[in-house]
Amino acid sequence: DTGVSQDPRHKITKRGQNVTFRCDPISEHNRLYWYRQTLGQGPEFLTYFQNEAQLEKSRLLSDRFSAERPKGSFSTLEIQRTEQGDSAMYLCASSLPLMNTEAFFGQGTRLTVV
Partner 1 sequence: AQSVTQPDIHITVSEGASLELRCNYSYGATPYLFWYVQSPGQGLQLLLKYFSGDTLVQGIKGFEAEFKRSQSSFNLRKPSVHWSDAAEYFCAVGDPPGLGGYQKVTFGIGTKLQVIP
Query: Which CB, 63 or 99, lies closer to partner 1?
Result: 99
**Residues 107, 7 contacting (CB under 8 angstroms):** no
Residues in touch with partner 1 (CB under 8 A): 4, 6, 31, 33, 40-45, 48, 56, 58, 91, 93, 95-108, 110
Closest CB to partner 1 among residues 60, 114:
60
Provide the 10 A C-beta neighbour count for residue 23: 26
Distance from C-alpha of 94 to C-alpha of 23, rounded to nearest angstrom: 9
In the bound complex, what is the minimum distance in angstroms from residue 97's beta carbon to partner 1? 5
Q: Using DSSP, state whether 106 is helix, strand or coil.
A: coil
Q: How far apart are CA 101 and CA 43, in angstroms?
A: 19
Q: From the CB of 15, what's the least distance to partner 1, in Å?
A: 23
Q: Which is nearer to partner 1, 13 or 58 (CB)?
A: 58
Q: How many CB atoms lie within 10 A of CB 59?
A: 6
CB of 86 to partner 1, least distance (A): 18
